[in-house]
Structure 1
Amino acid sequence: MYAILDIETTGGKYNEEGITEIAIYKFDGHSVIDQFISLINPERPIQPFVANLTGINNQMLRNAPKFYEVAKRIVEITTDCVIVAHNASFDYRILKTEFSRLGFEFERQSLCTVELSKKLIPDQESYSLGKLVRGLGIPLSDRHRANGDALATVKLFKLLLSKDLEKTIITDTVRTETKRQVDDKLLKLIEQAPNATGVYYMHREDGTIIYIGKSKNIKKRLNQHFTNDNRKSKRIQEEVVTVTHEITGSELLALLKESEEIKRNKPRYNRALRKTKFDQALYHFTDDNGYINLTVGKVDSKKNSITTFSNRQQAKSYMHRWTEEYNLCQKLMGLDNGKSNCFNYTIKKCLGACINNESPEEYNIRAQKLIFNSSFQSQDMVIVDRGRDIDEQSIILVENGRFKGIGYFNLNHQIQNIDILRTIITPMTHNRDAQHIIQSYVRQHKKLKIIKLPKND
């Protein structure tokens, strides 16, 4: 099965582009069986030359869905499919980047019709989509629009399949879709694993932990480990003898346990995970006019940050979102470098703090609300998430802005009494990684229950 797609973007710096339009055609090798086409609000401006090329401008996208609103549909239509695109490395990179900003790992196999065309239709004057399909007599309308280009790619791919006499494309696809055989040892380890959220530990023959991971589905994740053929996976497959696990129910608890236990056990094959997972932080300062300004910069252990982000793209995405959510000024959020009022003031979405039309006192109330909601500083709270069983819930305890530990409860009175709460949690280490994990997870899961604890007298 194939997901033939085309993406239009804002342009801009590498990995800072945003999607403006996407078209996906699900293709079974014979005909299209499903499709998804949509404009997307990229939450960032379109480069002028790109707007001229595609005809898509900022005004057209104001009411379009944002990427997170269509992400589920994209996952659904591409599941168990090979991604096919003209210059697939670009489209696939853009999709992975957008999903990464949402904290989701989007992984699919891909095929590039540029590379296939060079192999199966040699000696063409050009392999750009427009010139190639024109030379092959394939109709193309709406060039540089996602739907037009995706439809042309569908027709081109059908032609390539017919020209592939050695059936290389289909053979490779079948090889991808059919998981490679795993030996009896690994197959047994997969069969013993649960379809549950938690942390898993791979052990060598002497019991030494060689890898720690977390997953929302441990069985599925082990299957990926044991069918992968990269160098690290092959070494793990050779050494692993036993896999133990701990079900957490909550993905947040799994993330926290994984981070803590990698630091404690230092498994051989977790070296990459020991590196800091975030490098951007949100800071604030008050300017000469008395307004609170919010800015994103490199993580600095000497400064008190409000919250942290995995990368600058994620940070900018949230800055745009918070500007709307808290009705803040783009200039005071570092999103507009103009000399006069910000763009939002022009369209009556900013109350005029950028030109002193709103008092610092009124503006700062909303800025302080954002800071309070996003910061751990001095906060006492319990984050409640799903448990391991239907009658159980999990908790993360934060006291005085410091992560204290995780636990589970069945009865509500257990989390109303701070002394009982401290008894039922498993103490864990507060550090920047744990704080980042919690803040990032809370940002992405708005329906989480958060209980503010009363301050002790």
Structure 2
Amino acid sequence: MKDVKFAITDIETTGSGIKGNKITEICVIVVQNGEVIDEYSSLVNPSQSIPLYIESLTGINDEMVSSAPAFSEIANEVEEITKDCIFVAHNVNFDYNIIRAEFASLERNFKRKRLCTVRLTKKLIPGLFSYSLGNICSSINIPHLDRHRAKGDCEATVTLFQRCLSLDPEFDVIKTLLNQKTAASYLPPNFKSSDFEKLPVSTGVYFFKDKDGRPIYIGKAKNIKSRIKSHFQERSNRKYKMMQETYSIDYELTGNELLALLRESELILKYYPKFNKAQKKVSRPYTLTSYHNQKGIERFALHKNKIAPVSWMKFYTREDAIKFLEYLCIEFQLCPKYCGLQTGVDVCDHYKITNCSGVCDDEISIDEYNERVSNAIDHISTYEDSCLLLEQGRHKNEKSFIYLKKGRYSGYGYIESSEELNHPGEFKNFLIPQKTSSYADRILNRYLNTKKNIVKIPLATKEKEFAKTEEEIWFG
């Protein structure tokens, strides 16, 4: 690789993200055999205002770039000087993706092999406190003049790259970095590729952590490694900023998606990570209530913003509420009109429900219809009973359980198949108690109303032995 050319590049831009970010200055210095052989630099007119905070950082203002060429005018020069070169930059994905975006806006393709001096320095000069360009230069005595200007930063990066070349004379480390075909090429600059390879392909929750070990993002996935790789490959400004602040990734296996959803919800509410948008705003649920109308017919209704004197059940999407009401109508031969599924009609004519008992057309008595509503309400109350929901564990010889106390999420646990439980109360020996929340209610509500073949073990309010059938369910 001794004759390979490296185009060390630095740009200044209108912002700190990737999307919508325009170049205000560019410098490219070509190095071959450790020596500088070519150089190009220019201010660039971004055709938009430079924010004040960027101006204060770089010193580049609107007046300075007003007479500078647009990127379209210098694209040929950038194309030519980087041609047949390996594209090198400090935190290379930032510079490379913005330059690619500038070319794409001109309907031109820009594709180069790329090399990151952050990763290169970490391999060749390990143990530094920080790998920002300024801190590296201070640590190993590299002159760094005119900071936050393209030429000043580019010249410092050239000197750093030459230092790295002297430490890697056979290009062993450089070849390794260039030949990475996995997510490692997209890794955050402060994250170790060896740590990525250790990530599991199992279901659970994962934590992006900052340099102090604090979670800055929490997510859930059926395949943790694959999902994290997709984060690395996203190009949004928000994800880019998150990657810059990520120093480590932790995870917790759950064995199944239900527990992953519940744990994600709990942990977001516990740590309130800065890059999580979801679950920071409490959504008011739909409340299922009932009342007697002027005819004395008991009818169901949904309320979202009203305080109902009677509350039978809560839903967190209208779709879930409608599906459940349709289920009640079919199961107990109720009237869609009096379940709030149809309005403005004298006699119900629902597209899906055809087994209405006929109370809307005086075919049965009000007392008989109200008895059916009462049976439906009794059925609803079973959702509020204490029970265990059984799901897959973290390995084949384990099962997990989710504990609902009076219908509310109260914890979870894992049990080996070989463990013997002679009494239902003994599950508490394995229980990890948790606080409920509106998010947990929403997750479980959707699970109970949409999941088929739920393994659900009722827990009586009084002490009693497991029935044989319950033992068979538990132990499979």
**Are the aligned partners of 2:286 and 2:302 in contact in 1 as well (CA < 8 Å)?**
yes
Q: Work out which of the residue numbers 426, 429, 432 in structure 2 matches 1:426.
A: 432
CA separation in 2, counterparts of 1:196 and 1:256? Answer: 16
What's 1:233 paired with? 239
CA displacement, residues 162-191 of structure 1 (integer Å, 9 cap, x when unaligned):
xxxxxx79999xxxxx99951474754543
Structure 1 residues 403 and 312: CA distance shift in structure 2, 3 A = closer
Partner residue, 1:137: none
| Distance in structure 2 (CA, Å) of the matches to 1:206 and 1:345 | 58
Corresponding residue number in structure 2 for 1:404: 410
Equivalent residue, structure 1, for 2:454: 448
Asked if structure 1 preserves the Cα contact closer than 8 Å seen for 2:412 and 2:433, the reply is yes
Count of equivalent residues = 287
**Which of 191, 213, 234 is the matching residue for 2:219?**
213
Change (3 A) 1:203 1:179: closer
What is the Cα deviation at residue 348 of structure 1? 5.0
Change in CA separation of 1:442 and 1:413 when aligned onto 2, cut-off 3 Å: farther
Could you report, residue by residue, the CA deviation over 1:345-379 in whole angstroms, capped at 9, with x for unpaired residues? 99852111223423445444554454455557651
Task: Identify the residue that residue 182 of structure 1 maps to in structure 2.
Answer: 186
Aligned to 2:298: 292
Distance in structure 1 (CA, Å) of the matches to 2:287 and 2:418: 35
Normalised TM-score (structure 2) = 0.53
Report the 3-state secondary structure (helix = DSSP H, G, I; strand = E; otherwise coil) of the residue aligned with 1:220.
helix
Q: How does 1:263-342 map to 2 (within 5 A)?
A: 263-276=269-282, 279-298=285-304, 305-342=311-348
Identity in percent: 29
Q: Distance in 1 between matches of 2:308 and 2:341?
A: 25
Unaligned runs of at least 5 residues, structure 2: 1-106, 112-181, 464-476
Give the Cα–Cα distance (whole angstroms) in 1 for the partners of residues 460 and 265 of structure 2.
29
Greater shift, 241-250 or 337-346, is seen at: 337-346
On the 8 A contact 2:232/2:243 being kept in 1, the answer is: yes
Report the CA distance between 1:231 and its aligned residue. 1.8
The answer on whether the counterparts of 1:278 and 1:311 sit within 8 Å (CA) in structure 2 is: no
2:293/2:299 contact within 8 Å kept? yes
Name the Cα RMSD after superposition. Answer: 3.6
Q: Which amino acid aligns with 1:182?
A: Y
CA distance in 2, matches of 1:450, 1:346: 29
What secondary structure is seen at the aligned counterpart in 2 of 1:202? Answer: strand
C-alpha change, 1:292 and 1:342, in structure 2 (3 Å) is same
Is structure 2 residue 336 aligned with structure 1 residue 352? no
Is structure 2 residue 355 aligned with structure 1 residue 343?
A: no
State the shift of 1:271 in Å.
3.9
Mapped partners of 2:264, 2:325: distance in 1: 29
Q: In the alignment, is residue 436 of structure 1 matched against residue 442 of structure 2? A: yes
CA–CA distance in 1 between the matches of 2:278 and 2:378?
33
Structure 1 residue 202 corresponds to structure 2 residue 208:
yes
Moved more, 242-251 or 285-294: 285-294
The more displaced of 264-273 and 251-260 is 264-273
What TM-score do you get using the length of structure 1 for normalisation?
A: 0.55
Q: Deviations over 1:23-65 (max 9, x none)?
A: xxxxxxxxxxxxxxxxxxxxxxxxxxxxxxxxxxxxxxxxxxx
Distance 1:181 1:202 in 2: 18
